[in-house]
Amino acid sequence: MATSTPDQMVAADDWSDLRRIREMPEIDFARMYAYRMGRLRACLQETGASMCVLVNPVSLRYAVDYRTYGLFQSHIPTTYLFVPVDGPVAIHGVYGPPPSVDEVRLARPISFFDGGNELPEAARLLADDLDRYLSDIGSNNRRIAVEYVNPSLTQALMQRGFDVIDGVTVSEYARVIKNEDEVACIRWACAVAELGISKLKEAMKPGVSEIQLWALLNYTNLANNGDWHDGRMLASGPRTNPWCQEASERRIESGDLVGFDTDMIGPYGYFADISRTFHCGPDTPTKRQKQLYRYAVEEVEHNLLLVRPGKTFKAFQEEAIVMPEEFHENAYVCTLHGVGMCDEYPKIAQLFRGPTYYDGVIEPGMILCIESFIGGNNDREGVKLEQQVLVTDDGYEMLSTYPLEKELLE
């Protein structure tokens, strides 16, 4: 049976809207937004600060579901948010319809694109704004948490007598534990990603380019009102080893391994982070391809068994499987990491890479990804696998359900 090309699949699209074939999970958005703001304020209170200034587009989405110009905001920040422990939430510099907040205000320039060499003066004015804001909400606590800004703002705030701390400690810790509505969003994001994966595999054949296959995954995300992918991580044949080579115009050949990592910020801003490695026929897999694949499966499956509440990050690192030394140099950058609206805290590397910078504890409500890349310096190819799981009260629940490759496991 002849397979369709990626172009034909898009031109005759009767498949991309997942809602046609699958019912969405129940999501109480009002409850989810209230939960997220409650998490932010609780984590903020733990720092002893009176308020935080949020700038990261992921933080803006998490706090008030502000989605506009997310990628632009990531490198030319224009919008920022004042979130106090107690008081009105104010957003500055909104594009388009404002989100549900208490106040919408004009913004001071916080990027060179907007402020140029006058950024120090703009920072002084923003410091004045913060001073007035705290006075308006009746707070004399001058400790504030500020996330991802240019140094001129930090300097201006300190000159005004503010005690400035890192706002990332608020936004990252807040996002660690998900409520049931966030989990439902992530289930849906994974389902969208896996629909794209199925179409990617359907279109995979000799002569199709890596970028054409990647486009199907991206198209599926956009067609379901998702946002973007953090990378274009798809490679074939010799470009699979070492890993982290983005999709190119290389055309896939019979017998190639084709690996990818979705890295997908999907519907409602939630992340689907799933890696698979396929084999492109009609040639059959080689003995070495199967061996590499089995190693990757072994690493993921061993480390999944370590995912349980109460396990410290240090203990996880010490108990994680150590693969043969021939794979250490090209191994993936971590063996476990958190996800929510993007790759998130925590990140635990393999023991041979040295100790993790911080310790902590695996808790119910975390969403974690277990990673593996297997490819030695003398191997033509490598294998990338990754599973996404929810930490439960007694272990984990698999959220990534796309099956492993039978022909590579034989």
CATH assignment of the domain containing 106? 3.40.350.10
Residue-number span of the structural domain to which 139 is assigned: 48-175
The whole model's pTM is what? 0.96
Cα 40 to chain centroid, rounded: 18
Element (H, E) at 113: helix 112-115
Question: How confident is the model over 364-392, as pLDDT tens digits?
Answer: 999 999 999 999 999 999 999 999 999 99
Distance CA 403, CA 382 (A): 19
* Co-location of 160 and 187 in the same domain: no
Instruction: State residue 51's pLDDT score.
Output: 98
* Co-location of 115 and 65 in the same domain: yes
Tokens of 14: 């009767």
Instruction: State residue 4's pLDDT score.
Output: 82
Domain boundary among 131, 149, 175: 175
Domain boundary among 135, 152, 175: 175
* Co-location of 139 and 216 in the same domain: no
Tell whether 313 is covered by a domain. yes
Closest CA to 369 of 235, 273, 270: 273
Within 93-146, strands assigned E span: 103-105, 143-146
Query: Is residue 11 classed as helix, strand or coil in its secondary structure?
Result: helix
Mean of all residue pLDDT scores within the chain: 96
Tell whether 282 is covered by a domain. yes
* Co-location of 379 and 234 in the same domain: yes
Instruction: State residue 11's pLDDT score.
Output: 85
**Type of residue at 30:** A
Tell whether 249 is covered by a domain. yes
Domain boundary among 175, 196, 224: 175
* Co-location of 187 and 279 in the same domain: yes
Tokens of 360: 């902590």
* Co-location of 394 and 294 in the same domain: yes
Total number of domains in the chain: 2
Query: Long-range contacts for 200-203 (Cβ within 8 Å, ≥24 apart)?
Result: 200/260, 201/278, 202/3, 202/4, 202/9, 203/3, 203/4, 203/5, 203/6, 203/9
Residues of the chain with confidence (pLDDT) below 70: 1-2
Tell whether 370 is covered by a domain. yes
Instruction: State residue 1's pLDDT score.
Output: 45
* Co-location of 281 and 305 in the same domain: yes
* Co-location of 132 and 208 in the same domain: no
Q: Is the dihedral of CA 39, 41, 42, 47 positive or negative?
A: positive
* Co-location of 108 and 225 in the same domain: no
Tell whether 26 is covered by a domain. no
Question: In CATH, what number is assigned to the domain containing residue 361?
Answer: 3.90.230.10
* Co-location of 167 and 202 in the same domain: no
Tell whether 29 is covered by a domain. no
* Co-location of 274 and 229 in the same domain: yes
Query: Long-range contacts for 230-234 (Cβ within 8 Å, ≥24 apart)?
Result: 230/263, 230/265, 230/342, 230/343, 231/261, 231/263, 233/260, 233/261, 233/263, 234/210, 234/258, 234/259, 234/260, 234/261
**Type of residue at 22:** R
* Co-location of 126 and 185 in the same domain: no
Tell whether 252 is covered by a domain. yes
Please give the DSSP secondary-structure letter assigned to residue 314: H
Instruction: State residue 113's pLDDT score.
Output: 96
Tell whether 86 is covered by a domain. yes
Look up tokens 């203990």; give the residue.
315
